Structure 1
Amino acid sequence: MPADAIREDICHFLTSRRARLTPKQAGLPDFGGRRQVSGLRRSEVAQLAAISVEYYTRLERGNVGGVSEEILGSLAAALQLDDVERAHLAALVRAANAPHRAADRGGATSHVRDSLQQILDAMTGAAAFVRNAHLDVLATNRLARALYADALDTDDQPPNLARFVFRDPRARSFYRDWNGIAHDAVGSLRTQAARTPGNTDLADLIDELATQSGEFAMRWDAHDVEYYRSGRQLFHHPAVGDLDLDYDALEIPADPGLTIVTYTLALNSPYAAAFLQLRQRDAAPEATRPGAS
Structure 2
Amino acid sequence: MTSNPSRNELGAFLKDRRCALSLRAMGLPDSDSRRRVKGLRREEVALLAAISADYYARIEQGRIQASASVLNRIARVLHLDNDQRERMYELADKDATRRRRCVAQKVQPQLRRLLHGLVDTPAIVLGRRTDILAWNPLAAALITDFARIPAKKRNYVRLVFTDPAMRTLYTDWQHVARTSVAQLRMEAARDSTDQRLCGLVGELSVHDEDFRGWWGDHQVSLSTIGTKVLHHPVAGDLTLHWDTLTCPADPDQQLVTLTAEPGTPSHDGLRILASWAARTP
With the length of structure 1 as denominator, give the TM-score of the two structures.
0.58
Aligned ranges 1:1-40 → 2 under 5 Å: none
> 4+ residue stretches of structure 1 with deviation over 3 A?
99-109, 150-153, 155-158
Residue 229 (str. 1) matches residue 224 (str. 2): yes
Residue 216 (str. 1) matches residue 181 (str. 2): no
Relative distance call for 1:151 and 1:185 in structure 2 (3 A) is farther
Judge conservation of contact 1:107–1:202 (CA < 8 Å) in 2: no
TM-fit CA distance, 1:150 = 5.2
Relative distance call for 1:100 and 1:264 in structure 2 (3 A) is closer
CA distance in 1, matches of 2:234, 2:175: 23
1:152-187 CA-partner distances (Å, limit 9, x unpaired): 543454521111111121111011111111111110
Q: Which residue of 2 aligns with 1:131?
A: 126
Judge conservation of contact 1:105–1:200 (CA < 8 Å) in 2: no
Q: Which residue of 2 aligns with 1:262?
A: 257
The partner residue of 1:173 within 168, 186, 193 is 168
Unaligned runs of 5+ in 1: 1-98, 286-292
TM-fit CA distance, 1:270 = 2.3
Unaligned runs of 5+ in 2: 1-93
Judge conservation of contact 2:138–2:277 (CA < 8 Å) in 1: no
The partner residue of 1:160 within 155, 161, 164 is 155
Higher helix share: 2
Q: Name the aligned partner's letter for residue 246 of structure 2.
A: E
Aligned ranges 1:55-134 → 2 under 5 Å: 104=99, 106-107=101-102, 110-134=105-129
Q: Which has the higher contact order (CA 8 A, sep 6+)?
A: 1
Judge conservation of contact 2:205–2:212 (CA < 8 Å) in 1: yes
Judge conservation of contact 1:151–1:161 (CA < 8 Å) in 2: no
1:90-149 CA-partner distances (Å, limit 9, x unpaired): xxxxxxxxx789965944752013332111111122111101121111111121121122
Judge conservation of contact 1:127–1:263 (CA < 8 Å) in 2: yes
The 10-residue stretch of structure 1 (114-123 or 207-216) with the greater mean CA deviation from structure 2: 114-123
Q: Which residue of 2 aligns with 1:206?
A: 201
Relative distance call for 1:102 and 1:242 in structure 2 (3 A) is closer
Residue 250 (str. 1) matches residue 239 (str. 2): no
Aligned residue pairs total: 189
CA distance in 1, matches of 2:169, 2:103: 27
Residue 240 (str. 1) matches residue 235 (str. 2): yes
Judge conservation of contact 1:231–1:246 (CA < 8 Å) in 2: yes
Q: Name the aligned partner's letter for residue 204 of structure 2.
A: L
Residue 107 of structure 2 aligns to a residue whose secondary structure is coil
Q: Identity of aligned pairs, percent?
A: 32
